[in-house]
Amino acid sequence: MLRHARDTDVADRVVTQFGTKYRIDGSLAMPDGRNSLRRAIWFVERGPGTAACCHRLSDRGRGTGMKELDLVVLTRELPGEGLRVGDIGTVVLVHQGGAGYEVECSTLGGRTPAVATLAADDVRPVGDREIAHARHVAQSAGRSPSSACLPSSADPG
């Protein structure tokens, strides 16, 4: 992963309230000798911190109730990403003990149309009486029109 980050141009850079997020799209050499196209999201936190790949971090969100790999439900629209209130994502990074999160939304086919930096009140935990359903994600810049995100039920009860 470090070689992938070092040898591949940054595709996108976004400054957030928690630090700077870099998206890197490129070829990654696999152990069997094949090359695979991969996307990595790296985050450099504000203040004292180091760069870390979102999928390889160990901060488990001490005391927040939400930790890395937890499923969450969006509580606000993200029109630039084609995401709606009720869409489900996975926490891939906890910021400042739960003040915010990096949330990845994946399609049913395994694509990642968005990794969004969100404040704590932009997401909530999934409920044990909720059921998911599929919908198509609206096409936005640089994304496939066939992407579908996994929304939650509108009824949290």
Of 40, 41, 39, 54, whose CA–CA distance to 95 is shortest? Answer: 54
Residue where a domain stops, chosen among 54, 76, 98: 54
Claim to verify: residue 49 and residue 22 sit in the same structural domain: yes
Claim to verify: residue 48 and residue 115 sit in the same structural domain: no
Claim to verify: residue 39 and residue 72 sit in the same structural domain: no
Is-above-0.85 flag for pTM? no
Q: How far apart are CA 127 and CA 148, in angstroms?
A: 21
Task: Indicate the helix (H) or strand (E) that contains 2.
Answer: helix 2-7
Claim to verify: residue 79 and residue 122 sit in the same structural domain: yes
Claim to verify: residue 95 and residue 41 sit in the same structural domain: no
Give the model confidence (pLDDT) of 64-122 as tens digits. Answer: 468 888 999 999 999 988 899 999 999 998 888 888 999 999 888 888 888 899 999 99
Which structural domain range is residue 13 located in?
A: 1-54
Q: How far apart are CA 105 and CA 87, in angstroms?
A: 8
Q: How far apart are CA 23 and CA 156, in angstroms?
A: 33
CATH number for the domain including 90?
A: 2.30.30.30
